[in-house]
């Protein structure tokens, strides 16, 4: 666990830096263009290359040293941030440098994620998976809990360049942490068999589709990623319509307290059983709180609903993570996690590609004072800038509840837990 914690600490620092950059870029692009569409495009470019290349990163993680892959991914991803920084510093202010830099960064992050996920299985026992999942989610939470507040304060007296410099610096801290662990463990020899990308990709896919429970979980998480992508794309423009940049930073940070608390509870207490039930209940709660976020323009109400929404996410992620992890052999986990990332994150891609356009050209016009829905739904949730986005969040929340009820109750998901329990009971008897 000590080696895992060293890597975890490095990733925590790196994610704080990445979260600051993500927040600053969203604000920078929205203030530059006043377009939700451009915000969603930049968000899409920050994730799409990583999502598409995750299977490649997964195959490389199964074939080569996973810690070395993490180091390479971190170092090379800094090139994209450096390009954006140099472009702004030399006066090339606009969307194009952001597009290029974000894309470069995302391409090399694809080497990192599957290796990091597979490293959890390398360094820990099955009994430690749930707690490790909670800790891993705490790392992800840092970009929402800590990063926006810090970035909001910095943007109050400086600009995005300072944030980019900080982010680049945190990457080197992560590299040192991973390198220190790599020196203390037995080096993994590269496989000597003939490399065939398609063959290894096929092997990874077979491990997903042959288990109906895993297949159902992947489909469920793809929908979940879509709904989370909606929140990521729409929250900043919605709050900016009624508040300042500092307010947005404060809202995002305080909202993420819920995610932090949920992750801490899981990392300390763990989840011992009833994974499938907790998964479905958490998804339903997610949908309810997501819908509530869109119903009001009162900051306090939005803040409470956001905290509760984020508090449920660690339980969803942990239950799905453990159920999948115990179903997949360790020697193929790199490529399987790469494929799962691709398949589930398709939901995020769809959200990033459509939410901005739908907000700017469909829902926002309908919810203006003279819009089509102003005298109906508008009388309930209000009209004006940001209210079309609110309606989108309400619809997405309701759809999330429906998906949870339909997919979350599948027998194939419950059977994974039964098989896990029988396996553990057999080991105890022996």
What global pTM score does this model have? 0.66
Closest CA to 329 of 211, 187, 185: 211
C-alpha 182/C-alpha 3 separation (Å) is 9
Residues of the chain predicted below pLDDT 50: 421-430
Q: Quick one: pLDDT at residue 92?
A: 78
C-alpha 189/C-alpha 182 separation (Å) is 13
Closest CA to 116 of 156, 163, 61, 162: 61
Euclidean distance between the first and the last CA atom of the chain, given in angstroms as a whole number: 26
Residue 116 inside a domain? The answer is yes
Q: Quick one: pLDDT at residue 287?
A: 92
Largest CA distance in the chain: 72
Residue 87 inside a domain? The answer is yes
Residue 190 inside a domain? The answer is no
Numbers of helices and strands, H then E, in the chain: 19, 0
Non-local (6+) Cβ contacts of 347 within 8 A are 221, 222, 223, 224, 225, 226, 227, 228, 229
Residue 157 inside a domain? The answer is yes
> Which residue segment(s) compose the domain that 69 sits in?
2-182+199-429
Non-local (6+) Cβ contacts of 294 within 8 A are 238, 381, 389, 390, 391, 392, 393, 394, 397
C-alpha 391/C-alpha 296 separation (Å) is 10
CATH at residue 267 = 1.20.1250.20
Residue 188 inside a domain? The answer is no
Question: 145: which 2 tokens?
Answer: 């809990």
Residue 162 inside a domain? The answer is yes
Q: Quick one: pLDDT at residue 429?
A: 45
Residue 192 inside a domain? The answer is no
Closest CA to 84 of 163, 17, 179: 163
What torsion do the CA atoms of 37, 38, 40, 44 make, to the nearest 10 degrees?
Answer: 130
Residue 272 inside a domain? The answer is yes
C-alpha 142/C-alpha 139 separation (Å) is 5
- Count: domains in the chain: 1
């Amino acid at each position: 666990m000590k080696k895992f914690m060293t890597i975890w600490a490095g990733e925590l620092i790196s994610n704080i830096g990445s979260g600051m950059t993500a927040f600053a870029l969203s604000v920078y692009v929205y203030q530059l263009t006043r377009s939700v569409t451009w915000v969603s495009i930049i968000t899409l470019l920050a994730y799409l290359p990583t999502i598409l290349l995750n299977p490649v990163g997964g195959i490389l993680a199964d074939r080569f040293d996973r810690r070395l892959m993490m180091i390479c991914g971190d170092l090379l991803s800094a090139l994209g941030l450096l390009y954006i920084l140099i472009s702004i510093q030399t006066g090339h202010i606009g969307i194009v440098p952001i597009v290029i830099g974000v894309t470069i960064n995302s391409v090399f992050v694809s080497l990192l994620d599957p290796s990091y996920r597979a490293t959890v299985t390398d360094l820990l026992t099955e009994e430690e998976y749930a707690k490790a999942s909670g800790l891993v989610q705490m790392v992800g939470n840092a970009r929402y809990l800590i990063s926006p507040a810090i970035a909001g304060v910095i943007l109050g007296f400086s600009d995005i360049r300072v944030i980019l410099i900080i982010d680049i610096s945190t990457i080197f801290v992560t590299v040192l942490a991973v390198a220190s662990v790599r020196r203390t463990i037995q080096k993994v020899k590269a496989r000597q068999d003939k490399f065939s990308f398609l063959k290894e990709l096929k092997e990874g896919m077979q491990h997903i589709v042959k288990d109906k429970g895993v297949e159902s979980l992947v489909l469920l998480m793809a929908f979940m990623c879509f709904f989370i992508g909606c929140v990521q794309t729409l929250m900043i423009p919605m709050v900016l319509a009624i508040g300042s940049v500092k307010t947005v930073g404060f809202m995002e940070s305080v909202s993420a307290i819920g995610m932090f608390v949920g992750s801490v509870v899981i990392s300390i207490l763990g989840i011992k059983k009833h994974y499938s039930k907790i998964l479905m209940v958490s998804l339903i709660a997610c949908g309810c709180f997501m819908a509530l976020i869109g119903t009001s323009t009162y900051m306090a109400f939005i803040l409470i609903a956001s905290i509760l929404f984020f508090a449920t996410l660690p339980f969803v992620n942990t239950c799905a993570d453990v159920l999948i992890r115990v179903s997949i052999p360790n020697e193929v986990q790199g490529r399987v996690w790469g494929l799962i990332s691709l398949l589930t994150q398709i939901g995020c891609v769809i959200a990033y590609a459509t939410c901005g356009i739908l907000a700017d050209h469909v829902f926002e016009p309908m919810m203006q004072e003279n819009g089509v829905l102003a005298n109906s739904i508008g009388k309930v949730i209000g009209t004006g800038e940001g209210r079309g986005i609110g309606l989108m969040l309400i619809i997405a929340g309701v759809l999330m509840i429906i998906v949870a009820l339909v997919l979350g109750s599948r027998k194939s998901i419950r059977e994974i837990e039964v098989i896990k329990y029988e396996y553990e009971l057999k080991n105890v008897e022996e």
